[in-house]
Structure 1
Amino acid sequence: MLITSRRNPLVNRLRYLHEAEGRRIHGLILLEGTHLFQEVLRLGLVPTEIIATPKWLKHNNDLTKTFSSVRLVTLDVLRAIATTKNPDGILTVLPIVQLPIVPRTPNFLLVLDRLQDPGNMGTLMRTALAAGVDSLWLRGGVDPLHPKVLRASAGAALSLPLERFSSTVELLQQIKNLSWMQRIATRVQEKYTSQTIKPYWQLDWSKPTALFLGNEGSGLDPFLESICTDGVTIPHSYLVDSLNVGVAAAPLLLERFRQRLTYVKNNL
């Protein structure tokens, strides 16, 4: 049956998943778009609901042939549910319990402190997955399961184990259990003239590592920065004060990958 009314209970029920409370109460996340649905299939995850327009289903019937039912809605109804102005025709509802479990002994950890921008969060998730990060730890900030973040991550959020902490104290307690890891903060050399700050490529990233990145405006919490064992900088033109956190993360995270490839190449 085709749902044509924006007043259908389905609309409000799924829109509730835009909110952290709705996701927590129902234990579900809302995925928007064909790419995220394809990621669900690739990872072997099992959605509880698939909502699509007749036009989308007609052109993508091969993607849904293993599912017994698809809720059909008009494009107008789909727009009423989605966070995007122009959804491409499909929404997927996925149980949160199917997301990956955080490893107890990570070897490469990314810690994000109070990030606020959904685009930055999604970009960092994608970069972290590409760099081989074992787990993502979050202190406050934007909800990593918000539809906008999930969409910006291009599916990386479905593969990257993550854990959220409500306070600095809670996070610090967990970090104390990772004494074997070097803890890295990004710093501006001019602000730490009494300390030796290395260009990021001079650090040995092959060691067990936790990389800390701070809020877009205020940077890393001083308490978190104080427990870092090393500081690195990304040299750049003086015409720019600082780099966007999503941009800065890329060379840092991928440097570990580069060093490992170089080691393998030199030891063949």
Structure 2
Amino acid sequence: MKSIKGKTVLITGASSGIGKAFAFEAAKQGANLILTARSIQKLQDIASQIMRRFGNTVHLFIADLSKKDAPADLYRQISEKGLKTDLLINNAGIGKWTNFLDESSASYEEMLELNINSLVKLTQLVIPGMLERGTGGVINIASTGALQPCPYVAVYCASKSFVLSFSEALYGEYYHRGITVTAVCPGNTATGFQAIAGADTKGMAADTPEYVAKKGLEAFLKGKSFKITGTVNYLQSFLPRLLPRKSVINVVSGMMKKRVEGVRKYGLEVSVNNR
């Protein structure tokens, strides 16, 4: 796919952050949108802005993709409206910065259902139609945390490692059949959760959601299997290849421990939540 002009793009977790930025960037490039999240009010506000600025068609569907049956139900609703998905952007996800034992098993189950299972289910549902049309694709939002073990963010980063590996594997299966699957790996992104949580991120470079969305779509349209956004993030991605794994674990542990200490200091929780 060389352009998304006139195509229909389905974006999950579209009510804020990177998902919202993808909605505006896709609309700017001439795509019609299917947006889904849990908040109808936020989606309606975004849809109104997009239709006013760009004139694109925007369809809204409310879904909590941390529920096991939600992906199938969402796909059924979209199909009943006679809509097809040319590009799926699996953005919805949640993460927690904390000691592993400080979160409940229910919290981790919700995280894995949203970050992994719903992503796999939606991808499996949309690819057959793309194969019939001979074109299409999927952008899966992973993370630079997918590139190495991350103490204090263990489950979240492990889930993003799955997303990266899964995406690249599907790229290998379907690229020569006209389907591109691209994993986008953002680093620290200025979505606002750090400030609210009182996390210690001083001195850390932060990209904007708009930058991540723009570079993610560029990589997809160039047929890339993955994209690490930001020059600093790209350079840092070489560390796991250059240093012994134990050294990498120690470095990341020191970085993430500061965030956990910030949480304790302010009595708050650091989380990423793009639903």
Instruction: Verify same fold: TM over 0.5.
Output: no
Q: Which has the higher contact order (CA 8 A, sep 6+)?
A: 2
TM-score calculated relative to the size of structure 2: 0.33
Q: Which has the higher helix share?
A: 2
**If you compute each CA radius of gyration, which structure gives the higher value, 1 or 2?**
1
